[in-house]
Amino acid sequence: MSESHDNVPSDLAAIERDVAQHSAVFKKELGLFDLVLTQVVFVVGTIWVGTAAKLGAAQNVFWLLAIVTFYLPLAAAVIFLNRLLPLEGGLYQWAKAAFGDFVAFMVAWNLWVFAISILAGIGLLVTTNISYAIGPPAAWMKESKWFITVISCVLVVGMVLAATRGLGLGKWVHNAGGIMLLITFAALILLPLLSLARGVPVNYHPFAIAWPTASALNLNVFSKLALGALTGFEYIAILAGETRAPARNIGRSVIISAPIIAVMFILGTSSVLAFVSPDKVDLIAPIPQVLSLGFGSFGWVSIVIKIAIIGVVVRSIALMSIYFAGNTRLPLVAGWDHLLPAWFTRLHDKYKTPVNSILFVGAVTLVLGLASLIGVNEQEAFQLLDNAGGVFYAVTYVVLFLIPLFGLKAFGVRVPWWLKIACASGVLVSLLYIGFTIVPIISVGSRLSFALKIISVVVIANAIGVAIFALGRARADRAAGAANT
């Protein structure tokens, strides 16, 4: 197979040139510093230190196992594929090159539906945290549908305006979220050391190792830590066309942020266990819980808690901004390939952002978010979609890991043996997660009913995606036929 001047096979180089022509108008706003903070914001969820703390002294083994079998394989695969094809659309472009338009579209569709399910809950999430920050006088906020509706509208309109302005503004939101998250975790990680220095006894054993027993429950927890906590490196690659030197900087951002993120999770969980027993961990707000206990003897605990909660709010808004930015680019790149109407490819005259796609994603986000507040049936439907979201995301990971394993042979790309082993591990962990999501081992009213509901949501959502693809392909074929006559 002949190769281009930059050692990329000629067929892949042709794909790269085609996408690069579309991306040439974009402003290259994201540098290495922005990418590192964005990776931290996107990957580090604040609830996972509480979830892992439920494991007690076994948490280190679970974290290390998830890091070796999924986290590092994901980082390696993303770095490899991004260096090969550093293109706007990220995983969509990689899947298109490896497996064709249909698989690429369905990967993007699953990722898009997953992100929408996350975005739709931003109003409730932010409102709840604001009420905690203010204290008991604001307890009514998280129960008030009209107030949540107002917050949801303000946040979505804000995201639409910021996204229209472009990443020149959006990156500062992401950076602020990253800095606040780092400060919050720094306080969490240093808290046991400060307590020990003041002579306060704490149960701090950051390097304790307790081997867990082999059980279905432990496998389930392991899969949740892997695909719940240690995911997201690939999402930033969607914005490669708006990144300076994407082939180099996106890979560097993964290399720099990966150890930082691992330390945040492992030492953060150890700090939780230093102050709270596993059976008493607050799974919703573990960091405020620990900071309130740890700083209680300092006399200014309320201030610390408010700052911590505000940090969580800022991080949540930054996270949603990243989801929103990526979710508006997926319809754009599908429109470039004529799989969606050209309407989605229209750019803002001044800022060169996909303005129609931004408006569409904003409208869908707002409708789904408000629908979840209307009544019981809508809430149940939204919760079901949220539960199925993990399956949508895991499906995209199965495809991502299959690309280095099977998708690049036709181009003559040599994939190192160690990367193939890593990707095989990633596929197995992703399938394990899907299995435990569909067939729960926790107590539910009916396991069969639960499984059928999740499967139905996933199948119906993907059937809609197939129908949209078929319509788009037919439209593209008609346009091509008209052009040839």
Interval 223-236: pLDDT, tens: 989 998 999 999 99
Residue 2 domain-assigned (yes or no): no
Q: Domain for residue 383, yes or no? A: yes
Take residue 471 and report the two structure tokens written for it: 């319509």
Helices (H), 46-166: 48-53, 59-66, 72-84, 91-99, 101-119, 122-134, 145-165
3 part of a folded domain = no
Q: How far apart are CA 180 and CA 199, in angstroms?
A: 29
Q: Is residue 5 part of a domain?
A: no
What φ, ψ does residue 231 adopt, rounded to 5°? Answer: -130, 160
Using pLDDT thresholds of 50, 70 and 90, give the confidence band for residue 5.
very low
Torsion angles phi and psi, residue 299, rounded to 5: 90, -5
Domain-located, residue 428: yes
Residue 285 lies in a domain: yes
111 within domain boundaries = yes
Helix, strand, or coil here: 9?
strand
Give the C-alpha separation, 331 to 82, whole Å: 20
Entry pTM: 0.90
Is residue 92 in some structural domain?
A: yes
Domain that holds residue 194: 10-484
Residue 457 has what pLDDT?
86
Share of the chain above pLDDT 70, in %: 90
Total domains in the fold of the chain: 1
User: 173-226, pLDDT tens digit by residue?
Assistant: 999 999 999 998 998 999 899 888 888 778 888 888 888 887 887 888 889 899
pLDDT band at 107 (very low <50, low <70, confident <90, very high): very high
Q: What is the CATH number of the domain that holds 423?
A: 1.20.1740.10
